[in-house]
Amino acid sequence: MEDRPDTDVAIIGAGPSGAAAAAWLARKGYSVRVLERTHFPRFVIGESLLPQCMVHLERCGLLEAAKAGGYQPKNGAAFCRGDDYAAIDFRDKFSDGPGTTWQVPREDFDQRLIEGARAAGARVDFGVSVSDFRADPFRPRLSCVDDDGKCFDIEARFVLDASGYGRVLARLEALDRPSSLATRCALFTHVEDRIDRAEHDRDKILIGVHPTHPDVWYWLIPFRDGRASVGVVASPELLESAGDSDDQRLWAMLGQEPRYARLLKDATATREVQRIDGYSADITRLHGPGYAILGNAGEFLDPVFSSGVTIALDSALRAAPLVADQLDGDAVNWAQDFEAPLRRGVATFREFVDAWYDGRLPRVIFHPDQQPRVRQMIASVLAGYAWDIDNPFVAASRRRLTSLAERCELDSQAVAP
């Protein structure tokens, strides 16, 4: 009798991309084994979803599991810069698809997703780290170690790396390459926000711009239970100058933005301040013999537009059907059918991130008289529909953003006293 692999598909990581791929493949009848280094529930950042996520959650059968969390609704993004304030409503957008989503404590959200994958038939092993990998087009092998120090190998017919910031296969296969984005640092915590001001819309993430450092920005993500996630992103050097500890640095920086200072005047922290340094990452390729790499395990841009979970889910739902085709004996062109289309959407997000930091996008967002159709197109990208090539701001992101920012600048100069 022919020796059989331990599982059809081994998935490294139980976050959103791992859970989505596991649920989809398990529902199709494949044996799936998920290996997660930590134990859930566990804290992780990235709590503001985009409406595009709802499409992917429904496709993999996890939408109802997520709905049961009763999360804070989200219908858009608000931006503040000194006296300037602008809100973008995702329900008023160019692309088809949902216009609302949630703001989620990730420890609960991720737990619900992976339990949904388990209910669909996937096996989930927590406390298991992957120490080595042997690529093979038919029988890739993972070397693992559990919390008790027990070492064992798992042979699969295909491996998906959904390890997020752990970037397991990027390290083991030497696929890392420097990101094109500048090195930045994020400081963040959760608070009992105690916000009672009418100016605050809990159905939107609030993104603030520092009054004197335009490349420094803040987030405020309200949760349904009266808590919120707050954070600041800046260069490591600037943050170091703001205090003697990360706790001092975060609160000093939050106090420098007038709206944040007002909103958070009564807030109290519910967890220690955490930091992530140099979070942007890139990779030479997203697939190889017997494996593919999903979400943050491949490329991570920047948290400013909350694209991380959207890209993670999109990659999972692109990869899973191709894995099924390959396991069924069909020829699969991973470069053409997975990597190229995935990277096109990521490139759109990257153009918007670049335009945020170089000032083009703030000029557009804070322009007082934006054309409604243009605003709808930008809202679509910020809602996660970065693969909709019918949207001119997807098909030609850089050119369109540059041209629009120039027009906004000319308008501002024309009305200046």
Q: Encode the chain (417 residues) as per-residue pLDDT tens digits.
A: 357 889 999 999 999 999 999 999 999 999 999 999 999 999 999 999 999 999 999 999 999 999 999 999 999 999 999 999 999 999 999 999 999 999 999 999 999 999 999 999 999 999 999 999 999 999 999 999 999 999 999 999 999 999 999 999 999 999 999 998 999 999 999 999 999 988 899 999 999 999 999 999 999 999 999 999 999 999 999 999 999 999 999 999 999 999 999 999 999 999 999 999 989 999 999 999 999 999 999 999 999 999 999 999 999 999 999 999 999 999 999 999 999 999 999 999 999 999 999 999 999 999 998 899 999 999 999 999 999 999 999 999 999 999 999 999 887 765 555
Task: Extract the tokens encoding 233.
Answer: 């992103």
Q: How far is CA 68 from CA 39, 45, 108, 109, 122, in A?
A: 21, 21, 10, 10, 20
CA distance 228 to 206: 11
The DSSP symbol for 233 reads: E
Q: Quickly list DSSP for 83-123.
A: TEEEEEETTS-SSSS---EEE--HHHHHHHHHHHHHHTT-E
Between the alpha carbon of residue 415 and those of residues 314, 367, 371, 409, the distances in Å are 43, 12, 17, 10
Give the pTM.
0.96
The number of C-alpha atoms within 13 Å of 386 and in the hemisphere containing its C-beta is 26
CA–CA distance from 213 to each of 208, 250, 251, 358 (Å)? 11, 15, 16, 12
